[in-house]
Chains A and B, each alone.
Chain A
Amino acid sequence: MSTLLAPKLALARAAGALSRLRGGGATSAPGKLLLKLEPGAIGALSSRLEHGSVLISATNGKTTTAAMVASILEGRGVELVHNQAGANMAGGIASTLLAAARSRARIAGELGLFEVDELWLAPVAASLRGLRAVLLSNLFRDQLDRYGELETIADSWVSALSEGPALAAALVLNADDPLVADLGRDREGDSQESREDEHREVLYFGIDDDTLALPGMAHAADAKHCRRCGAPYVFEAVYLGHLGHYHCPSCGQQRPSPAVRASAVRLDGVRGARFRLSVPTGEAEVKLSLPGLYNVYNALAAAALALALEVELEDIVAGLQGATAAFGRAETVTVDGRETQILLVKNPAGANEILRTLALEPGEHDLLGVLNDNIADGRDVSWIWDADYELLAGRVRSVTCTGTRAPELALRLKYAGIDPSRITVIDDLPRALAAAAANRPEGARKPLYVLPTYTAMLALRALLVQRGEAGSSWL
């Protein structure tokens, strides 16, 4: 295999170098070419990884969760092959493997750590060799023009997990998301007859903290009906979107009891969060430098995956506490001397968590909102009307709107109850950033919060790197 593979690797690599020289930032280009030349490349290259691979998928939190897992594993000296720049379709994963491939069928790394796009879970899981664990965290409505309905994604996950290499992998699932938790039951349900040879490990994680429960479900909540019988779930507690404690009053399905739990959660505004982590072997306090309940979920997910890889609790805690913001996710930079925090916002559930976290910070905020409608953002910007920007009413000192659909974001904020005289639309991103950074309260050292969609975040980071105000994360 390797003798046939080597020239293809070289060719794809050269094409990638050429594309970078021409200024292309696309990290998936060489991988896409490689897969054209050798459709089995992901399998061939991943088989070189001594400790196999793990996959992470979710609507929200893939990149941050993978960064936390990386922090845990690298702390133990595990060498990773990791698509950390977030190129998470087959081409991006092939590119990452290609970059690590060495001559004589070697590879620079022991374990593959791959976040994967929700729609690419099935094909990627089928092509990897030595797949050890699959972590699935949540499913929220996101880019319906591209992903379709949640039920469709959940169905594709069911089939992804019930065939090929995924059958031998441990499953790490969020007990608090009914759609995701149900994936573990599918296996338990039919394992007795058809899979007598399999006894697959299913590890659940979830939050147990009544003080966090929201008064009701968010407007844009999904998965309100039992996947088994279609009856509406009854929620005893809702923590985030449709994540929480639930049961089906009709068929009796209920939230699985999680082995990896967070309790006594304390949220410290945009600065961090603390919680008690309980695993079957013990308990520990965890202090995250990443904010918000959504990052507590990311940390729990990372802890559960590390546990499935037999990492000790002590190492898990150290890794989580050492984890810093991934690329554009609560990353802090300096713009024209002003502290600026970038908070990626790309769908209603994610936006709501960012808005909730911002609302924990006292006082009025200066914001820069960047709404793009490029393909990777979703062409349909309807979702901003599902996000609870009302949380910012009375809390905005100034907001600058930019991006390809800036006026529609401005209008959303007006209808959310933000005084229109505090809303400015500036189409050009560099000018909008400069104006937003300069618009600061006298004497106070208040940060600027930037809320970009995905391609807006990439454009913003490119701008900051160019200005020397952020490090380059490109490999």
Chain B
Amino acid sequence: MAVNQAGAHTLRVCALYPDLMNIYADRGNLLVLQRRCQWRGIGFELAGSGLGEQLDASAHDLLYIGGGQDRDQRLCAEDLLQTKRAALHEAAARKAVILGVCGGYQLLGNTYTLDQQEIEGVGLLDVDTVRDPGQRLIGNIAIEVTLEDGAERRVLAGFENHGGRTRVGLQAQTLGRVLAGHGNDGRSSQEGARQGTTIGTYLHGPLLPKNAWFADWLIAAALNIDRSDLSPLDDRLESEAHASARRAAGV
């Protein structure tokens, strides 16, 4: 978090590989964060970090990594290990929020196995993913999440399209319980993972437009402020869009 002289907040966001890991319109998530900050008078800074670029662990409050084509995802997996792993762990240690969506979720885990070949992940989430040669898990999805102990249960609605099956280890918690759709593996009714302030989910692409409440949760967490400190917005269209995505999932 950065606080300027007037005491106002600025959310500093970094998109990892914004030109490669963006296959499902991931920029929708960044746009929602940007607008919801701007409408509240919260400053917003967006940086990108591409292949070969060093990452400054202290310069960002929220780091985002989206999904990509297989080939691009492999390039990014290598680069994450070579140039960004230490900085990401450092950022997580100082409670920056790290959100991995779809392919980005897989890369934040321990390993990703494709055709017997094990690709090492960043290891911020204790999850392991194996690419299943069978059917991809595709469709509308809704999950029920509890983001803080004792907090109310909320619904995240979205769309998933992944060939990987992800198993959550002991160090991480699942993000939510599948109400409709496939989730991590299509069997366990578990979806996503979270460990500290790192979150991964298969609800791909523009997840935040369909779940404005979650965008606000991320903003508050990244700024380390209480959600009630965020001024309310006219969210009528946001609520209708959330309801529409839930209807599509049948929830």
Binding site for B on A (CB under 8 A): 141, 144-145, 149-151, 219-220, 224-225, 230, 348, 373, 379-386, 404-408, 410-412, 414-415, 420, 423, 425
Q: Is the CB of B140 within 8 A of A382?
A: no
Q: Which residues of B contact A406 (CB under 8 A)?
A: 244
- Considering only residues 11-40 of chain B, those with a C-beta below 8 Å from chain A are 19-20, 22-25, 27-28, 31-32, 35
Beyond A407-B240, A407-B244, A411-B241, is A145–B25 a contact (Cβ under 8 Å)?
A: no
- A-B contacts counted at CB < 8 A amount to 92
Partner of A145, one of B32, B35, B138, B241: B138
- Considering only residues 29-81 of chain B, those with a C-beta below 8 Å from chain A are 31-32, 35, 69-72, 75
Closest to B138 in A: A145
Partner of B71, one of A151, A373, A412: A151
Is B248 positioned at the interface, with any CB of A under 8 Å from its CB? yes
Is B204 positioned at the interface, with any CB of A under 8 Å from its CB? yes
Q: Is the CB of A408 within 8 A of B23?
A: no
Is B110 positioned at the interface, with any CB of A under 8 Å from its CB? no
Q: Number of contact residues on B: which range applies? A: 35 or more
Q: What separation, in Å, do the CA atoms of A281 and B32 have in the docked complex?
A: 53
Partner of A382, one of B19, B24, B70: B24
Closest to A146 in B: B138
Q: Is the CB of A385 within 8 A of B70?
A: no
Q: Is the CB of A219 within 8 A of B244?
A: no
Q: Is the CB of B159 within 8 A of A414?
A: no
Is B238 positioned at the interface, with any CB of A under 8 Å from its CB? yes
Extra pairs beyond A224-B20, A379-B138, A382-B206 (5, CB < 8 Å): A144-B23, A382-B25, A382-B205, A386-B28, A411-B238
Partner of A407, one of B75, B159, B243: B243
Binding site for A on B (CB under 8 A): 19-20, 22-25, 27-28, 31-32, 35, 69-72, 75, 138-140, 159, 161, 204-206, 209-210, 234, 237-238, 240-241, 243-245, 248
Partner of A219, one of B27, B139, B240: B27
Q: What separation, in Å, do the CA atoms of A225 and B74 have in the docked complex?
A: 13
Q: Is the CB of B25 within 8 A of A384?
A: yes
Q: What separation, in Å, do the CA atoms of A133 and B210 have in the docked complex?
A: 45
Q: Which 9 A-B pairs have the closest CB atoms?
A: A385-B28, A385-B25, A407-B240, A382-B205, A386-B25, A411-B241, A385-B206, A407-B244, A382-B25
Q: Is the CB of A410 within 8 A of B240?
A: yes
Distance in Å: Cβ of A168 to nearest Cβ of chain B = 32
Q: Is the CB of A415 within 8 A of B204?
A: no
Q: Which residues of B contact A410 (CB under 8 A)?
A: 237, 240-241
Q: Which residues of A contact B206 (CB under 8 A)?
A: 382, 384-385
Q: Is the CB of B244 within 8 A of A144?
A: no
Q: Is the CB of A144 within 8 A of B161?
A: yes
Q: What separation, in Å, do the CA atoms of A425 and B205 have in the docked complex?
A: 23
Q: Which residues of A contact B20 (CB under 8 A)?
A: 224
Partner of B237, one of A141, A149, A383, A407: A407
Distance in Å: Cβ of B162 to nearest Cβ of chain A = 11
